[in-house]
Structure 1
Amino acid sequence: MIMLKTLGRVLAVAALLVAGGVQAAEPVHLKVGIRGGIGEDLWAVAAKVGERYGLKIEPVVFGGTLSPNEALNTGEINANAFQHVPFFRDQIKQRGYKLAVVGNTYLSPVAFYSKKYKSLKELPAGAKVGVPDDPSNESRALIILRDEGLITLRDGLDTYNEIVGLKDIKSNPRKLEIVEAKSVVLARAYQDLDAAAVISSFGSQVGLNAARDGIAQERFERNPNVNIIVVREQDKNAPWVQPLVKSFQSPEVRSYIETHLKGVLIPVF
């Protein structure tokens, strides 16, 4: 009888609170700019986790030349998660965006692929080698070529902090013909070249796995090319930022990467 009376009082108080307009807080709606493919899968998992933190995460897919950084800088979205650190630094330098890094996500390694050769060392003189045409990922490809002994780069380069370009090639003893192209093109047409460097997030869209199919892969030690979560500088201390980061840096997202994307992405959280 006492328990029933207590329950009755609780229900009565709850009814009064609802009648008085006191309700559970609405979830915080956040738009996160991403690229399609892998990004969609990962952020679908993160969005489910985010519900526990009172967030309604809406992934917004950007394609083509549309820039998630431009959209973030103008306030069209609340955050983005599509780029690695060197690309972000270059964007800030070139465009002056007022953006801040708030968390790491994963490493999407660059690897070389070939239908004709089993290693870069087998490439003959004059071989056509594809590299991404954006500065930060071209840099990654050239560093692999250096590490594999096919080219040398100019003295004094700090490849951890500096972007490497074709102008920085000091010697090319095999006279490789280096072909610059969009990453999406290289992923779909690498077999038309003797070898081509492809970012894993693009390669996975055509069934390529860096660990399984690559003939050479970038080193992971002191690799600066970690993908990141970015917000506007004015929002970096907002109360929703850390819950957003935790939603991605969760056991569920890690498990998804390790189960479905092994050899394609490497979690760095």
Structure 2
Amino acid sequence: MSSPSRAPEYRLLAELESTFDRLIEQVEVLVETWESGDHAAWAFGQIDADSHWLRQALLDVWYEDGQDGRITRSHIGLVAATPLVLEKVEAVNAAKEAFAALLAGIRRDQPALLPEIKASLPFRHPVLHDHLQGSGLARLHLKQCWRSIPLAEAPVARVRLAWYASGRSIKRLTVRDAEQKLLTLDTDAPHVRLQLRRLAGLPDSEPLAQVQRQAPLMRANLFYREPLADGRTRRAMNVALPLFLPSTNGRLPDHNLPPARPPETRLRARRRDERLEETAFLPSLRVYRYRR
């Protein structure tokens, strides 16, 4: 008999399970709809871009052994989508949004449920449970569950794919913030003590920047057949999942073949107005000073 004190948790889990079920079902409907027609596809680094590849890409919701939780795996490809297929893509993305919204509420109000969620949801669907057999895949990767399927909003004349390897995120810190972060490290270590002394020489009002280098990603440059209502003729978008492209005849537009690997060195020139110093001020935290 279940504990009355856990009744709200059970209701949340039941609602999440139902939302997850709808998500998986919508993915299956999308793949089956695409498979039933004469629709072309291309998969980066794959020989065959068939329904098996598409299903695997859209249902890849797992942590691999040793995978960094901040990193998601990519499945890059192009998929021709007739109006009916586009409708199914939108249904999947709506289900993903509902799943993400419910998870955000659980993360905020019942964070202790998250490990149970990651461990139990996969067993609800045989197609997912099969992944667990000897594959080192045992937990849901929630970010890979809710990330949207990329979709072009209008017919495209051509697509140009290119690696983007110089991205970074910058978080503004105060001197006090940086000090607190350093104090969580081994303060007996000489390099940490050196950085604390260096930080102590700054005025409290000086802003700092913590930089996180982002993993290389594939970017698609779309060139529309006709200008959109707002006058745009092109769009750039990051593509971690297969990109669905509107097509009345099931064919793909012209597209290039990007290099197999991202460039090892930065290809784009540094911006002249780059505001951060070149050398990290606090290397252990990847914290930089702003140029003066």
Name the TM-score, length of structure 2 as normaliser.
0.21
Higher relative contact order (CA 8 A, sep 6+): 1
Name the TM-score, length of structure 1 as normaliser.
0.22
More strand by share: 1
